[in-house]
Amino acid sequence: MGLIDMRGQIKDKLYYYFAEKNWGVRREYGPYVDAHREEHAEHPWKHRWMLVKLNWHYRVLRRDNMMISKPPEGKVTEKKQRLPYLEGSESSLSNRSSPIHLVKNRLLSFDVISFDIFDTLILRPFSKPTDLFMIVGKRLNKVEFYRIRTDAERRAREEAMQKKGTREITIYDIYRIIEQRTGIPAELGLQTEFETELDYCFANPYMKKVYRLLQEQGKTIVITSDMYLPKEMMEKLLHKNGFSGYDKLYVSCDYGCSKSNGSLYQYVKNDYPGKTIIHVGDNMNSDIKCAAAAGVESEHYRNCHEIGNPYRADGMSAFVESSYSGIVNTYLHNSDKVFSPLYEYGFIYGGLYVLGFCNWIHKRVKQEGIDKILFLSRDGYIYQKVFNMMFDDVPNEYFLWSRIANTKYTVKKNREDFLRRIVYYRALAPFKITAKSLLQSINLLGLIPYLKEYQLNEKTLLIPETVKLFDQLFIEHWDEVCEAFEPEKDYIRNYIRDKVGNASKVAVIDVGWLGSGPVGLKYLIEEELQLNCQVYCMQAAARPPIHTDIAPELMDSTIEPYIFSEMFNRNHFDVHANTNKGQNNIFFEFFSQATYPSYGGMNADGSFIFDYPEVENYKAIQEIQSGIIDFCSQYIHFFHKDFFALCISGYDAYCPYRMIIRDLSFIKKYFSDYTFARNVSGDTENQRIETIRELLDQAGV
C-alpha cells in the first residue's frame, strides 16, 4: 500500500469519527460546510476549528441543543417556516435591466468582455450544482454516489495542494480516485458525468441575447471560469449551448490557478495589454471582489438561485427540492421578464403537483394493466392535457361528470347523499332557494302538487328550519324521485357505454375529496350497467369532513389518493383539513378549473345541462393553467432522459401548495374577486354566485 493511500485511509477514518459519527456534529457540520464552501476551500483551518468546537459541544459537554444556530438564552425556538413572496410577482425581484440596456449602458465601452460560465452563461435545473451528481450516480447504478463524488473531489484537491501547492484539479483527477475506491472505470465515470452535464446544462436566454449583441458590435469576448472540466470539454459545452466565436477560453484547471485568488485574471490582462476589460459573473467573491482586487472591472449578474431559494418550499426530499427549485429559479429569475401573479400561482405552486399526479396515474395504470382513463370534468381538463404531454401509450377520454350528476344518477343507491347535497347543503348556503327553484333545478317539478301536504308552497325557502319538511317530501315520494331521472339515465347509460368502449379496466380520475364522483361512476359501470369492466378510482387527495366517512374505501383501495388521506401523508392531511377554516379545497381547485361551466347532467331529450358560466374567471384560469403547462413542459424537457426524476411523491407534490396557504395574503390580494357557485345547478330562478372575498369573510378567515 502506498504512503498516499495510507494517509487517505487515516484521513477518512478521522473525518468519519469527528464529522459524521456523532449525530449532533453531523446535523450541524454538513450544512455549515455547504453554506461556506469558498471558505472551506480557501481557509480549511476555520472549518477544522469548527469541528473541534462542535465535538466539544456534543461529545464533551454532552449537549443536545444546536451550537451554531443557538437560540437566545431562556427561549425555545422552532425552525422558521419559509413563506412565499407575498407582495406580487416573484419574478419582479430579479430587477434586471434589459439585455440591450446592459450592453449599451455598461458593456460596450470596454474593449474586452469576459464572461463566467456556470450560473451566468449557462444554467442548470438544480438549486445546487452538485445535485447533478445524483443523476450521474443513477446512470452509473451506484448507490450513495453523491457522497462518493463530493468526497473524491475533496480528496483530489487536498492531494493537489500537497503535491503542487494549488487546489486546482481536473475531472480526471476526481475519477482516478473514484476508480480506486469503487472500481468504476475512470473513463466511464467521467464520460458519464460530462454527458450528464451536456444533457442538463442550458443556455441562459438573457445572457445569450447579451452575448449576441456584443458579437454584432464586433466586441472581443473571452470566457473565464473556475472549473475542473478542462478546455476541450468546456468548448463542447459552450458550443452545444450556442456560445461560439469567443476569442479565448480560460479554465482554472488548465492554468493551475483560479479567479477566486485573482491569479486567473492576470492571464487575461497579460493577453490583452492596454485593453479595458470587464468581467461578468454571478459570484460576488470570485467574479466581483477578486476581479476588482486584480484590477479588472466587473458587472454582477445576480445568481438566479440566490434570488429564488428563500421563497422555495421547504421540507421536500433532496432531489425533488433541487430540481423543482432549480426549474422555478432559473425560469423566473434569469431575465428582465416579469410574469403575472396568476401565472406564477400555477407555475410555482401547482405545476409540480399536476406533473407528479399524472406520472403517478400512468404508473398505476401500467401496474394494473388498465386499458383506458376517464378524466372527470372539470378538474380532469388540466390533468388530461398534461398527461398527454407526457405519455401517448394509454387511450383516455374527457368525461363530463359532476357531484350533482353523480347524485342524480346514483339516486337509487345513494338516497342519503341525495338528501344531503340537494337539501341540507343548499339550506346552509348564504343564498336562499325557493321550493320551486329547487325542484326545477333537478327536474322534479312533478313533486309540486305534494308541497301543501308538507306545509310548503312554491315560494317556501329552503333554510335550516324547513329542512325536515323537504326531507320528508323526498323520502315519502322516493319512488317518484327515482322514476323522474329514468329518461335522463337512458342517455347517461349510452354516454357511459360510448366512453368506456371495449375496455376491461378503466381508471376514473378526479381531484378529490370524498371520492363520491369516481365511486358513483364505478357503481354505474360495474353494477347497474354490468359492462364487465373493472373501475379504479384515483384522485389527487382525500379529505372527508368526518375522518371515518371513507376509511373502508381507502383501506381496500376502492379510492386511491395520490397526495394524502387520513391514512397516508397524515401531516399534509391535517394541515389541509385544519388550517384556514377548512377553505383549502377551494384554493387547491384553482389549479384544475376549466373555462366552461360545470356539468349538471342531461335533459329528458338527451341534451347536456350546464351550470352558470363563470366567464369572469376564465382569464384567470387560463393564466394559472398556462403557468402549470409551462412548468410541466420545462420539467419534462429536462428530465425526459432520466425518467425516475418524474416520480414525484405525493408528499413532495403538496409542499409548494402547503407553503402558499401558510399566509393567505397572496390569495386574498389576487383571488378576492374570483367567483364560484357553491351548488351546481342550484337556483334556476335567481342564479347567484359568491366571491372568494365573501367566502373568506363568511368563514372568518
Domain ranges in the chain? 3-57, 91-306, 351-405+487-699, 412-484
In the chain, count H helices and then E strands: 34, 16
CB 599 within 8 A of CB 377: yes
- For residue 427, pLDDT over 80 is answered with yes
Across the chain, mean pLDDT equals 89
Question: Considering only 333-337, 345-349, 484-488, which range has the smallest mean pLDDT?
Answer: 484-488
Of 467, 427, 426, 473, which is closest to residue 448 (Cα–Cα)? 473
Higher per-residue pLDDT: 62 or 433? 433
Question: What pLDDT score was predicted for residue 55?
Answer: 85
- Packing angle of the helix pair 132-139, 186-200 (nearest 10 deg): 130
**Of 61-75, 423-437, 482-496, which has the strongest mean pLDDT?**
482-496
Q: What digits encode the pLDDT tens for the residues 314-331?
A: 999 999 999 999 999 999
Of 42, 582, 588, 511, which is closest to residue 261 (Cα–Cα)? 42
Of 44, 13, 16, 47, which is closest to residue 29 (Cα–Cα)? 47
Q: What digits encode the pLDDT tens for the residues 271-280?
A: 999 999 999 9
Burial status of residue 548 (CB atoms within 10 A of its CB: 0-12, 13-18, 19 or more)? exposed
Mean pLDDT for 206-217 is 98
Question: What pLDDT score was predicted for residue 327?
Answer: 98
Q: What digits encode the pLDDT tens for the residues 173-202?
A: 999 999 999 999 999 999 999 999 999 999
Mean pLDDT for 451-470 is 93
Higher per-residue pLDDT: 638 or 48? 638
% of the chain surpassing 70 pLDDT: 91
Higher per-residue pLDDT: 155 or 46? 155
Question: What pLDDT score was predicted for residue 69?
Answer: 58
Of 486, 411, 481, which is closest to residue 446 (Cα–Cα)? 481
For 91-306, give the CATH class: alpha beta
Question: What pLDDT score was predicted for residue 525?
Answer: 96
Query: Helix %, strand %, coil % for the chain, to 5?
Result: 55, 10, 35
CB 280 within 8 A of CB 107: yes
Question: What pLDDT score was predicted for residue 71?
Answer: 41
Question: What pLDDT score was predicted for residue 38?
Answer: 57
Question: What pLDDT score was predicted for residue 20?
Answer: 59
Question: Considering only 203-207, 252-256, 405-409, which range has the smallest mean pLDDT?
Answer: 405-409
Question: What pLDDT score was predicted for residue 457?
Answer: 94
- For residue 551, pLDDT over 60 is answered with yes
Of 376, 352, 314, which is closest to residue 563 (Cα–Cα)? 352
Mean pLDDT for 468-497 is 92
- For residue 440, pLDDT over 90 is answered with no
Question: What pLDDT score was predicted for residue 77?
Answer: 39
Question: What pLDDT score was predicted for residue 74?
Answer: 40
**pLDDT bucket at 79, cuts 50 / 70 / 90:** low
- For residue 120, pLDDT over 80 is answered with yes
Question: What pLDDT score was predicted for residue 78?
Answer: 43
pTM: 0.85
Beta bridge partners of 505: 534
- For residue 27, pLDDT over 70 is answered with no
Mean pLDDT for 627-644 is 96
Q: Give the separation between CA 47 and CA 512, rounded to whole angstroms.
A: 50
Of 582, 591, 580, 594, which is closest to residue 540 (Cα–Cα)? 591
Coil vs helix vs strand at 115: strand
Q: Cβ contacts of residue 499 below 8 Å, gap of 6+?
A: 374, 397, 399
Burial status of residue 425 (CB atoms within 10 A of its CB: 0-12, 13-18, 19 or more)? middle
- For residue 682, pLDDT over 80 is answered with no
Question: Considering only 22-36, 245-259, 518-532, which range has the smallest mean pLDDT?
Answer: 22-36
Q: Give the separation between CA 620 and CA 591, rounded to whole angstroms.
A: 10
Question: What pLDDT score was predicted for residue 60?
Answer: 81
- For residue 72, pLDDT over 50 is answered with no
Q: Give the separation between CA 386 and CA 461, rounded to whole angstroms.
A: 44
- Packing angle of the helix pair 186-200, 231-240 (nearest 10 deg): 30
Burial status of residue 484 (CB atoms within 10 A of its CB: 0-12, 13-18, 19 or more)? buried
Q: Cβ atoms within 10 A of the Cβ of 60, count? A: 8
Mean pLDDT for 123-140 is 96
